[in-house]
Amino acid sequence: MDANLYTLVERHFPAERTQPCLVVPGGPAVDYATLERMSAQVAHALAAAGCVPGDRVAVQVDKHWQVLALYLGCLRAGLVYLPLNTAYQKSELDHFFRDAEPRVIVCRDQALGVIATLAEQLPAKPVVLTLDAQGGELMDRAARCDTVFATVPRAADDLAAILYTSGTTGRAKGAMLTHRNLGSNALTLVDQWGFTRGDVLLHALPVYHVHGLFVAVHCALLSGGRMLWLDKFDAKDVVSHLPHATVMMGVPTFYTRLLAEPSFTREAAAHPRLYVSGSAPLLPETFAEFEQRTGVRILERYGMTETGMNTSNPLRGERRGGTVGPALPGVDVRVVDGDGRACGPDVVGAIEVRGPNVFAGYWRLPERTREEFTADGWFRTGDMGRLAADGYLTIVGRAKDLIISGGLNIYPKEIEEHLDALPGVVESAVVGIPDADFGEAVLAVIVAREGHGLTEAGVIATLKADIARFKVPKRVVFARDLPRNAMGKVQKNVLRATYGGDAAGPRAPS
């Protein structure tokens, strides 16, 4: 049987294809028929560019609605969609391209120069096509193609997407997601969150990560509903659209920013039936303040790039603040001690998951993949938590050295390597400190050589030229040495305690 995710999605499209699928405020309303037609044309255009099923298509574009036709077109042609954060810069992109060997790279017109140069240096010389809100080479080619395309059948274990995620060691790894992974998780969420054709999802998330691309888009498409398509999150703008929405999804920063927005009143919040939060911890204070302000409890869920969604507070039933709810149907979640034995209720241990949602491994890294799974097939999330007797999971921290800032992951190791390469730096340590807006903010502690001449502003400016700006430390401090334990390991908890206290206020100017 064909397990292509597009086939599944299409089965849920409304019979009346003139129903809008996506509405851009101040822009077009795009119906299902248009998406069907355009995705067919994109599939043809990619095939004509040389893509065969299994090939990767790397995509670094802004959030305009045409990107949805591109995503669906890739699925239809049996290609592997590889979305990239628009903040990634040259050296980051070079790694993704060399590793994934895409047949086609789709990029913004403004990035064409840089990307075409990178592509030229790759052994396989991918085709580079532009895509912008106004069109571009990809859509020019697509417009000349047939509007009907026979979706390429796929097996459940075939890849639908690769999403890069960094690690505590080595470079970013490609998480391989299959048609089964994405389809099973999407069906579960539609069911658990009660999505129907009448739903209007306020979509203000970026579409290059799991949350905005899979969780949000799939829930809308698999229920035949519609999306209010905002190109970015702006609190005031979002408030103005809430009366037309039934569901909103966001990272915790969306909710803290809404609470800081005076126009976000009980009346303004009254229409949506559901507010979902995830990708980073929602502070219990935010959960409580939101309920106080609106009378509504945010539904918090827990997921990962490698696994999609694992647990969720219930739609009906108790949404317990500070927890991420019980395991989703079909997903197994356990908490284990250092020896891999299941912990009793309320005992903190490592969170492991298993189910059809769990990815197929890291692209071309079988060794790394093996390390992340237990012998009996559970995926080690790297998160620490405890399960209550009634199955509710609470995440208490991370075993992995990871900072989550505004829902985006930053690996200290990667930033430390950049800092250590700067002339005058002896060593560095990067930690996450509390931040009222982003949840966590990146702070760098540098030990520099005598007479180094380095300044906080200088270091920040240098890094901004090299790596995605969201990864760049918001603060840089200089120290005589780094605190170490008896084993010589840097005590990051000491750094967090030393520098974390005064950083919870407004962000330092960038």
Any contact of residue 414 with ligand AMP (CB under 6 A)?
no
Residue 93, token pair as written in the block: 């992109």
Least distance in angstroms from the C-beta of 209 to ligand MLC: 4
Q: Got the DSSP string for 183-206? A: HHHHHHHHHHTT--TT-EEEE-S-
Query: Which of residues 27 and 397 has its CB atom nearest to ligand AMP in the complex?
Result: 397
Calculate the alpha carbon distances from 136 to 12, 61, 106, 146, 440 in Å.
30, 11, 10, 18, 37
Q: Are 418 and 411 in contact (CB under 8 A)?
A: no
398 binds, among ligand MLC, ligand AMP, none (CB under 5 to 8 A by kind): ligand AMP
Name the residue with the smallest CB distance to ligand MLC.
406
Question: 104 - beta bridge partners?
Answer: 57, 127
* Contact window for ligand AMP (CB under 6 A) among 138-146, 299-307, 465-473, 476-484: 299-307
Q: Using alpha carbons only, how large is the chain's radius of gyration in Å?
A: 23
Please count the residues of this chain forming the interface with ligand AMP, following the rule CB under 6 A: 19
Instruction: Write out the residues near ligand MLC by the rule CB under 6 A.
Output: 205-206, 209-212, 232-233, 251, 253, 278-279, 303-305, 405-408, 438, 464, 469-470, 510
Residue 6, token pair as written in the block: 């597009």
Surface-to-core class of residue 457, CB atoms within 10 Å of its CB (0-12 exposed, 13-18 middle, 19+ buried)? exposed
6 binds, among ligand MLC, ligand AMP, none (CB under 5 to 8 A by kind): none
* Contact window for ligand AMP (CB under 6 A) among 5-13, 192-200, 274-282, 463-471: 274-282
Per-residue binder mask for ligand AMP (CB under 6 A), 191-230, x = binder: -------------------x--------------------
Any contact of residue 303 with ligand AMP (CB under 6 A)?
yes
Containing H/E element for 495? helix 492-500
Residue 356, token pair as written in the block: 């059809």
Residue 23, token pair as written in the block: 């509405």
Any contact of residue 302 with ligand AMP (CB under 6 A)?
yes
Euclidean distance between CA atoms 83 and 363, whole angstroms: 15
395 binds, among ligand AMP, ligand MLC, none (CB under 5 to 8 A by kind): ligand AMP
Least distance in angstroms from the C-beta of 23 to ligand MLC: 20
Could you list the beta-strand ranges (E) of 3-55: 20-23, 29-31
- Sequence-distant (≥ 6) Cβ neighbours of residue 127 within 8 angstroms: 49, 50, 103, 104, 105
| Residues from 98 through 117 that contact ligand AMP (CB under 6 A) | none
Query: Which of residues 79 and 280 has its CB atom nearest to ligand AMP in the complex?
Result: 280
Residue 197, token pair as written in the block: 């054709």
Query: Which of residues 188 and 279 has its CB atom nearest to ligand MLC in the complex?
Result: 279
Least distance in angstroms from the C-beta of 279 to ligand MLC: 3
Residue 26: Cβ within 10 Å count: 5
Least distance in angstroms from the C-beta of 302 to ligand AMP: 4
Which one of 192, 313, 357, 381 is in contact with ligand AMP (CB under 6 A)?
381
Euclidean distance between CA atoms 207 and 217, whole angstroms: 9
73 binds, among ligand MLC, ligand AMP, none (CB under 5 to 8 A by kind): none
Any contact of residue 164 with ligand AMP (CB under 6 A)?
no
Sign of the dihedral through C-alpha 290, 398, 430, 88: negative
Any contact of residue 280 with ligand AMP (CB under 6 A)?
yes
Vertex 377, ends 157 and 190: CA angle to 5°?
A: 55
312 binds, among ligand MLC, ligand AMP, none (CB under 5 to 8 A by kind): none
- Sequence-distant (≥ 6) Cβ neighbours of residue 284 within 8 angstroms: 321, 322
Any contact of residue 304 with ligand AMP (CB under 6 A)?
yes
151 binds, among ligand MLC, ligand AMP, none (CB under 5 to 8 A by kind): none
Residue 59: Cβ within 10 Å count: 23
Any contact of residue 496 with ligand AMP (CB under 6 A)?
no
Query: Which of residues 97 and 438 has its CB atom nearest to ligand MLC in the complex?
Result: 438
Least distance in angstroms from the C-beta of 163 to ligand AMP: 8
Any contact of residue 406 with ligand AMP (CB under 6 A)?
no
Query: Which of residues 29 and 384 has its CB atom nearest to ligand AMP in the complex?
Result: 384
Question: 441 - beta bridge partners?
Answer: 433
Q: Are 256 and 206 in contact (CB under 8 A)?
A: no
Euclidean distance between CA atoms 237 and 231, whole angstroms: 11
212 binds, among ligand MLC, ligand AMP, none (CB under 5 to 8 A by kind): ligand MLC
Sign of the dihedral through C-alpha 127, 133, 135, 136: negative
Least distance in angstroms from the C-beta of 388 to ligand AMP: 15
Residue closest to 160 by CA, chosen among 138, 141, 136, 178: 178
Least distance in angstroms from the C-beta of 200 to ligand AMP: 24
Which one of 82, 216, 247, 404 is in contact with ligand AMP (CB under 6 A)?
404
Residue numbers of the site for ligand AMP (CB under 6 A)?
A: 165, 210, 278-281, 300, 302-305, 324, 381-383, 395, 398, 404, 409
